[in-house]
Amino acid sequence: MSGRPKIFDDQEVLNKAADVFWRQGYEATSTEDLLEAMGIGKGSFYLAFKGGKKELYEKALALRSDQAMAQFRKELDAADDPVEYIREFFRRIAHSTRAKHQNGCIFGNAVAELSNIENPMMKRAATHLQGLEGLFLDALLRGKQEGTLHSKMEPALLARLLLNNWNGLGITRRIYPDNEALSELIEIQLKILG
């Protein structure tokens, strides 16, 4: 190895870029915005991400997905009661700052914004959300086996329902960015888990 050393770390700048995309969405974010947030110049950027903004978005989303899934998996595996863990997962939403509420869910945002203008990228975001649904299902199946899930509903359908609740909250929390109100809503929703 030789050559001039890089002044940035790929993961780090991807995370910074992800924050900007999360806040502003894909179209409203200019490469200029991204360069500023990442703290690097055009030369470095286009060398590292030849696909430009699009490649950056895909990688930023994939990174966030990996991080979120890994954390969920880890916490779920460590949880005594997987169903209770799902409850905690949703209750966390009602402990956010207003700024976070306004951002919604980065994957839901991607699905909403890109379904008709960048279908391949939308599909990848959709896959991330299906991954979340899969984790819900894992938790529910384990809950069923261990006896903490009493619902008579089919777990797969219940997982789908939870995904829809999650997707809804990504919008609703922006309309009502109030933790008290959100908490009430979430508790009602969780009643379906029995």
Partner DNA sequence: TCTATTTTGTACCAAATAGTACAAAATAAT
Partner DNA sequence: ATTATTTTGTACTATTTGGTACAAAATAGA
Residues lying near DNA in the complex (CB under 7 A): 1-8, 30-32, 40-44, 46-48, 50, 52-54
Closest separation in Å from C-beta 114 to DNA: 15
- The DSSP code for 147 is T
- The DSSP code for 94 is G
Stretch that binds a copy of itself, among 23-31, 50-58, 61-69, 82-90 (CB under 8 A): 23-31
Polymer length of the chain: 194
Closest separation in Å from C-beta 145 to a copy of itself: 22
Q: Which residues contact 173 (CB under 8 A, 6 or more apart)?
A: 93, 96, 101, 104, 182
Distance (Å, rounded) from C-alpha 44 to C-alpha 83?
46
By CB under 8 A, residue 48 contacts a copy of itself: no
Determine contact, residues 111/125, Cβ cutoff 8 Å: yes
Nearer to DNA, 29 or 148 (CB): 29
Distance (Å, rounded) from C-alpha 162 to C-alpha 136?
7
Nearer to DNA, 6 or 74 (CB): 6
The one of DNA, a copy of itself, none whose footprint includes residue 24, by CB under 5 to 8 A per kind, is: a copy of itself
Give the number of other Cβ atoms within 10 Å of residue 82's Cβ. Answer: 22
By CB under 8 A, residue 102 contacts a copy of itself: yes
For 50-78, the DSSP string reads TTHHHHHHHHHHHHHHHHHHHHHHHHHHH
Q: What is the Cα gyration radius of the chain?
A: 19
Determine contact, residues 109/29, Cβ cutoff 8 Å: no
Stretch that binds a copy of itself, among 42-50, 52-60, 82-90, 110-118 (CB under 8 A): 110-118
Nearer to DNA, 38 or 135 (CB): 38
By CB under 8 A, residue 157 contacts a copy of itself: yes
**Site for a copy of itself (CB under 8 A): which residue of 126, 138, 141, 190?**
126
Nearer to DNA, 50 or 152 (CB): 50
Which chain residues interact with a copy of itself by CB under 8 A? 23-25, 27-28, 102-104, 108-109, 111-113, 115-117, 122, 126, 129-130, 153, 157, 160-161, 163-172, 174-176, 181, 184-185, 188-189, 192
